[in-house]
Amino acid sequence: MNSPPNPCNRLIKSFSDGSHLEYDRGSFDEWCIYLTRPHRKRVAPKDIQYFKRFQQLAVKHTAPRIYANFVKIYEQTTARLDQKILSAITRLSSKYGADALVMDLLFTIVYAGMVAEENKSKAILKKRIKRLGMHQVLIEQATPTFAANFSKGQPWQVLDRECRKRGF
């Protein structure tokens, strides 16, 4: 079996404003996602932060629309970062008008997170865990804090049931 490539310091995507995302070593593994913006400190985006931003953008662009676009990305996600999917995310995001750049960034963060989950050997639910959070935030209108913390300390069987209950 081929093991996935070591992602340390690996560029995920560059954006039109000079920002970029990359994988690097985090506190748990080598699949931590970092955002670097011009003239700012590099940060690891947290689930609660991007869930909150998606929820804010849903007021303008509707939660079902954002969720449906997320599902398109989810369905194509594997353990390999795919340049075709990254390009498709940019095209899909361009339909969000003035919010195109932020949607490109947010969808790319979630996509890269799902790729990371698919590569974690101990992760049983893999990318489904991100879908559960996105569903909770966008469809169920749960708070970003609730969705970001829902899976913590839960047995995988409970989370699997929660995913199946929602049809994924």
Q: Please, where are the H alpha helices in the chain?
A: 47-61, 63-76, 83-93, 100-119, 128-138, 144-149, 156-165
d(CA 93, CA 119): 26
In contact, 129 and 122? CB cutoff 8 Å: no
In contact, 8 and 24? CB cutoff 8 Å: yes
pLDDT tier at 8, thresholds 50, 70, 90: low
The 10s digit of each residue's pLDDT in 27-69 is 878 899 999 999 999 999 999 999 999 999 999 999 999 999 9
Question: Helix or strand or coil: residue 62?
Answer: coil
pLDDT at 128 over 80: yes
Stated length of the chain: 168
Q: Which two tokens stand for residue 36?
A: 């670097």
Question: Helix or strand or coil: residue 10?
Answer: strand
pLDDT at position 3 is 42
